[in-house]
Amino acid sequence: MSKVRIMTGNEAAAAAVKLAAPGVVAAYPITPQTKLAEVLSEYVERGELKAEYVRVESEHSAMTVCISASTVGARVFTATSSNGLLYMHEQLHWAAGSRLPIVMCCVNRGVGAPWSIFNDQQDSFSQRDTGWIQLYCRDNQEILDTVIQAYRIAEEIYVPVMVCYDGFILSHTMMPVEIPDAGVVKKFLPPYKPHTILSPDDPKTINSVFFANRRENAKGILCDGYMDMRYKLYSAFEKSGEIIKSASEEWATMTGRDHGGLIWEYMTEDAELLLTGMGSIATEATLAVDALRAEGIRAGVVGIRAYRPFPKEEVIMAFGKATAIAVFEKCISYGYEGGVCSDLKAAFYGTDIKAPIYDHIVGLGGRDVKTGEIVDAARKTFESARAGKPGNKTIWLNCSEAEEVY
């Protein structure tokens, strides 16, 4: 029987990991992720989670432990933030290239230099092309549910999954969270079946050097070359959108909680102005929409839940009737614009969607983003679009050094 508890986002993630029952947890502390690792260690110490808890000397080693344990057949978990995720960078490629269904929480935090312990999403954004699925959560309930779904997704297509949620805004904020019965999770999440099996009776080399072209091995079996392996990982991502949606739908049927699969929508049925973003900033945008509608502006929100794979078909459908689009994102691609903005433009290429897109960089390093500021920016977006302005400049919201351009 499910029960409701008041807990932080980190505690919600830890509760989900316990329900998923990994055999190995590798941990290294970094703010604001540390409490998640601490709670898991307490579960292991009390015997509530029967796992090997490996205390390592760095984040690079934490991912190395997960790679090794997953390779020999264990369900695994780790978590990190900020420069800790950057320190893992090399091993993130190894995990994805090895097709290991590792689940990791990224508690989003700004990266140095200069140092900041506060929130933005530059850490996970900087790792978007490592071959990991990225799912973004907007509240603590979604954190718990998404971690459980992540294991189902990862183990069905053998691709690692990063569950991202905003540091402090969610990781340290307490909310009511419904914890499902262990039997429900066990029914939803079948035992992990590894695709790599090590045995003394059948010795093999793991991750040997691959040549560019396909070649026969010592047994005369034609094996993939490097590019073939990359194509198979790419193909897995092509299928992953449907897997994410089906996992979300089945979880909704079992628990009554539906977080939307690849995207979620709020007040979009008749919306002319659409606001979009990932994580908690998209939740803040729903409050802005309520205020805008009180002014007579038909606004709505399209939240991006899956950033990789990018939900191309879903956003084309969701944004099809918009006359103006305001993007709010906590990351930047230096020399260009925010990543969500770029990906939306790419998705809309060749379609009938001609609405101008106004990209807003917000909340970097934990700078507060108030609902009123989003309302004001969205209103200016709508007015500029109606005046025929193209929206081709990146807008730094609430930044004294930046010029306001609409």
Per-residue confidence (pLDDT) for residue 67, from 0 to 100: 97
HSE-CB of 260 using CA atoms within 13 angstroms: 22
Confidence of residue 196 (pLDDT cuts 50, 70, 90): confident
AA identity, residue 312: K
Distances (CA, A) of 285 to 209, 265, 291, 387: 48, 11, 10, 23
Per-residue confidence (pLDDT) for residue 216, from 0 to 100: 84
3-class secondary structure per residue, the chain: CCEEEEECHHHHHHHHHHHHCCCEEEECCCCCCHHHHHHHHHHHHHCCCCCEEEECCCHHHHHHHHHHHHHCCCCEEEEECHHHHHHCHHHHHHHHHCCCCCEEEEEECCCCCCCCCCCCCHHHHCCCCCCCEEEECCCHHHHHHHHHHHHHHHHHHCCCEEEEEECCCCCCCCEEEEECCHHHHHHHCCCCCCCCCCECCECCCCCCCCCCCCEECCCCCEECCHHHHHHHHHHHHHHHHHHHHHHHHHHHHHHCCCCCCCEEEECCCCCCEEEEECCHHHHHHHHHHHHHHHCCCCEEEEEECEEECCCHHHHHHHCCCCCEEEEEECCCCCCCCCHHHHHHHHHHCCCCCCCCEEEEECCHHHCCCCHHHHHHHHHHHHHHHHCCCCCCCCEECCCCCCCCCC
Per-residue confidence (pLDDT) for residue 79, from 0 to 100: 98
Nearest to 132 by CA among 44, 63, 223: 63
CA 139/CA 158 separation, integer angstroms: 27
CA-based max dimension of the chain: 73
Per-residue confidence (pLDDT) for residue 406, from 0 to 100: 83
Nearest to 381 by CA among 263, 267, 272, 266: 272
Q: Is residue 105's pLDDT more than 80? A: yes
Model confidence, pTM: 0.96
Residues 295-346 have pLDDT tens digits of 999 999 999 999 999 999 999 999 999 999 999 999 999 999 999 999 999 9
Number of neighbouring beta carbons within 10 Å of residue 110: 25
CA 385/CA 382 separation, integer angstroms: 5
Number of neighbouring beta carbons within 10 Å of residue 365: 17
Report the DSSP beta bridge partners of residue 357.
325
Q: Is residue 49's pLDDT more than 80? A: yes
What's the average model confidence in pLDDT over 350-374? 96
Nearest to 32 by CA among 129, 114, 110: 110
Whole-number average pLDDT of the chain: 95
